[in-house]
Every structure is written in structure tokens, then in C-alpha cells.
Chains A and B, each alone.
Chain A
Amino acid sequence: MLDNKNRIVITGCGSISPYGAGVSLLTDNILAQKSSVKFNEELAHIQDLTSLVSSTVPEIDFSYIPRHFRRSMSKMSLFAYGAIQEALDTAGFKKVPGGVSLFIGSTISSMQTWLDFSEKFKKQEFDTIKTTVIFQVMNHSPLANMAQAFDLNGLGLGVSAACATGLMNIGLGYLAVKAGFIDKALCGGTDEYHPMMTGCFAIMNAASNQFNDNPDKASRPFDSKRCGIVCSEGAGIVLLETLDSALKRNAQIYGEILGFGTNTETKSISHPSKECISRCMQIALKNANVSAQEIDFINAHATSTVAGDIEESKAVFDIFGGEVWTNSLKGHIGHTMAASGALELISMLDMMKREKISGTLNLDNIDEQAASVKHFSGVKELKINTFIKNSFALGGTNCSLIVRRFKQ
């Protein structure tokens, strides 16, 4: 029997997205059906690269972060700082309480910093490298930087699970709070864009390359003309605590996490399978003690790749049938990598509260092979109660999180 001490709720949310800073800005733009994808001139100068679009965070002035902390931050840590600050603000913490834990990761450390670092190394200019560079290229750079900047002195875990990083960190944070091992956790993911990111997906023929002249249309999950991922960046953070703690603080509650599931695809390092995705969602349902019939919305991982969207559609149909509304938010913002699971979850929470949910952008003609589930375009007035959020990753990591509108 659950009591308030082992019910886990989300009481703070923070977003740095390709639309800018703030959760409201993210949701407003998604509901306005605006794409953040743009033509990227830098990509056009890379020989033989066929994908020339990306989705990046507009210029944000982070000079308000004290230099002492900012000096060791690459862009992904700056993004994380903005998202954590908003999560703490919305959670009602004017001062960071002691013992807060942090679960945050990125897909890879700062590529630009690594390139600059290795260039100097190759040129025998090693003695011109500054000490603060080291802290930007560590695998757990955002974790280390955020812990210092916000004095987060509880458990620190910087799990990296490629594109599932954000949701994995939220899931692990959820499990740790639920187990009573920690009290409060800031959880999520962050990533900074680099052209090499698009290059990596292009090498695998998985980067969008048919809409370079029409970037708004480039990311189109489940659509018959989809042609790959649009790489993006940002940071998403949620604050988790027990319901007991939230009620005592009179905190606003964005939603209750009911369960988490994760597993690993071992048939292919690059291709997800319907079977493994299905098992992941079933693990989450079991962990949440929720039946498939109770799920009334599915926020898919769907990245706009040819293979991935089909496998996820089939898995969703197998478990939930074809009558549960399904969307992917990557048509709007592209694939924000390590941030994606967290940012998409945060926007879903906000839309659930507003009772207005966006469908998938650029879904002009549903791919026949992905048509078994219930897609939609535009914005629907829907009062959803329990949704599942999926995140999958290159390398085989799958994650599913089940969230419910809060009720006493």
C-alpha cells in the first residue's frame, strides 16, 4: 500500500530549449506548432555531408553565473545551470536545501572543447591549455559543475545513456527517492550541439537530408517522408521528492511518477526492436502497478528515423492497441539528445496541466507501417490522466516512465 512517503512527485521543472529559456516558452511554441529547426550554414561547408539542418538554443546571456563557477562550464553546463535554477525556483526553493541529490548526464562531453584541446595537443601547445578546460571534458562535467554551483551535496550520479540519458536519470532518481535512499533529487539531461553530432548520424544515414531547403519540415516523426534525425540541444531538469515532503512544503505538483522501466537491446547496437521496446514499456507498467488500459496518452521517443519510428509504433500497438493518442515532440524541436527525455516529459506535464496537447508536427501523411497507433496533428483539448514517456538510445538503452496527473 502506498502512503505519502513512497509516492514520488515532480515539484519543479526547468528548461533550456531551442526556443530559449523557460518551460512556458517551450510549451507555448510547441502548442503554436512552431518548428525550431533551421538551415545550418556551418554544415554546408562540410564536404559530402547531406544533412544541413539543426536546432540550436538561441543566444542566452549566462554572465549572471558567477565566474568562479562559469569558468569550468561548457555550453551544456550553462544550459543545465539555467534549467536547474528554474526547477528550483518553480519548486519554491529560494535557497537550495542541504542534501539535494543530482542525477544528470550528457551523451558525450563537450565536443568543441575536446577539439580545441586535441588541436593544441597536436600542435605541441599543451602548455597553453587552461586548467578549467579539464572540467569541461570530463564525462560527468555537468554533474560536477552543477554540484559546485548549487552546492548540491547529496548523491551525485552522472549516468550517460546516449539519447535516453535524460529519462534514465529521472528514472534512477525516482527509484532512489522511492527507496528512501535520498530525499530530493534534481534529475535530467543536457547536451550542446556540434556539427559532428549531425555528422555522426549522417554517417549512419540517419540524419534528415531531404528538407535542407525547408528546415521547418525536416523533423517529421511517423510521416511517410521522414528521412532522419535533426540534431538539437538543450537541458531539461525536474525536481523529485516524496508526496509527504511536497505537501508539507505546500509545493505545486506537476505530476506523480508511478513507475519506471528500462532494458537493453542486444540484437543490434543501432536498431531498436519492437520486442525490446515492448518489454521496456511492460517493465514500466509492472513497476507502476498500472494496467495498459489505464494509459491514456503515449509520448513517443520517435526521432523521425525510418526504422525507429516503425518499431516503436508496432510496440505501442502491441501493448496499448490503436486507440490511445500518441505524439512525438521531436517534429517541433528535433532531437535534443541527452535532454530529450526530460524536455519532452516537462512539456507533456505542462500540456497535461493546460489540458491542451500537441500532436506530432509535420505529420502530413502517416507512414503505413507506423499507422497502427492513434496519431494526430495540431492541438487537441484533451484531459489526460496517465501517460507513458519513452526514450531510446543508440547502443540499445531503452527507458519508459509512467506519470499521472496528481490526485490526493
Chain B
Amino acid sequence: MMTREEIIKTVNDSLMKEFELKPESMKPDANFFADLGLDSLDAVDMVVVLEQAFKVKIRKNYEVGKIMTLNDLYNYIENLVKENG
């Protein structure tokens, strides 16, 4: 199973590549919209990118819409990875 550090690295690498974000902006409390400059289209594409990176299906999970910061996302993915064994 992936460690939290591995999850954080995979999330950050995926989002930095997809959204051309700088490493210094990837702070755990960074808000996707206010701090990272993403918008509603990016939010949908983020789901696509994460599904491919972690080989999971999250598009239909209502909880995804509540994720606002990187740390929220790390926690969400960590739980998902645990649930999937």
C-alpha cells in the first residue's frame, strides 16, 4: 500500500504537470481556487488526472466536490487507498 508520503508526491507531481504549478505553491493548506488559480473546468480535469494516477474511480463520489485544499485531497486519497486495500 502507498504511504502518505508517496500519495502526496503522486498528487503533487500529477497536479504540477497537469496545471503547470510551481513546486513552491504546493503547500498543504493551498486552496485550489484562491491559491492555485484553478477553476471549475480544472476541478473536473483534476478528477480525471487523479483517477489515472491512482487507478481509482472517484468521479461519481459526491465527497470529491467538498475538497478545497491540497491537504483535503491527500486525506481523501489516503482513505480511498486504504479502503481499496
Contact = CB atoms under 8 A, between A and B. Distances in A.
A127 B51 contact: yes
A191 to B, nearest CB: 25
A63 to B, nearest CB: 8
B41 A67 contact: no
Contact of A127 (B20, B37, B41, B59): B59
A129 B57 CA distance: 14
21 contacts: A67-B19, A67-B20, A68-B37, A68-B39, A71-B41, A127-B48, A127-B51, A127-B57, A127-B59, A128-B48, A128-B51, A128-B52, A129-B48, A130-B44, A130-B45, A130-B48, A131-B41, A131-B44, A131-B45, A132-B41, A132-B45
Contacts of B57: 127
Contacts of A131: 41, 44-45
A136 B41 CA distance: 14
Contacts of B39: 68
Interface string A171-210: 0000000000000000000000000000000000000000
Chain A's interface size range is under 10
The 10 A-B pairs of least Cβ separation, nearest first, read A131-B41, A130-B45, A67-B20, A131-B44, A130-B48, A131-B45, A127-B59, A128-B48, A132-B41, A128-B52
Given A67-B19, A131-B44, 17 more contacts: A67-B20, A68-B37, A127-B48, A127-B51, A127-B57, A127-B59, A128-B48, A128-B51, A128-B52, A129-B48, A130-B44, A130-B45, A130-B48, A131-B41, A131-B45, A132-B41, A132-B45
A132 B48 CA distance: 12
Interface in B35-72: 37, 39, 41, 44-45, 48, 51-52, 57, 59
Secondary structure call for the A interface = helix
A71 B20 CA distance: 10
Contacts of B44: 130-131
B1 to A, nearest CB: 24
Contacts of A127: 48, 51, 57, 59
A67 B16 CA distance: 12
A88 to B, nearest CB: 25
A279 to B, nearest CB: 47
Nearest to A129: B48
Interface centre among A67, A128, A130, by most chain B C-beta atoms within 10 angstroms, is A130
Nearest to A63: B20
Contacts of B51: 127-128
Contacts of A68: 37, 39
A67 B59 CA distance: 24
A68 B18 CA distance: 12
A129 B45 CA distance: 8
A373 B50 CA distance: 63
A132 B52 CA distance: 17
Contacts of A128: 48, 51-52
Contacts of A132: 41, 45
A176 to B, nearest CB: 32
A35 B84 CA distance: 59
Contacts of B37: 68
A215 B26 CA distance: 50
Contacts of A130: 44-45, 48
Interface in A114-149: 127-132
B61 to A, nearest CB: 13
Contacts of B41: 71, 131-132
Nearest to A130: B45
Contacts of A71: 41
Nearest to A70: B20
A130 B20 CA distance: 16
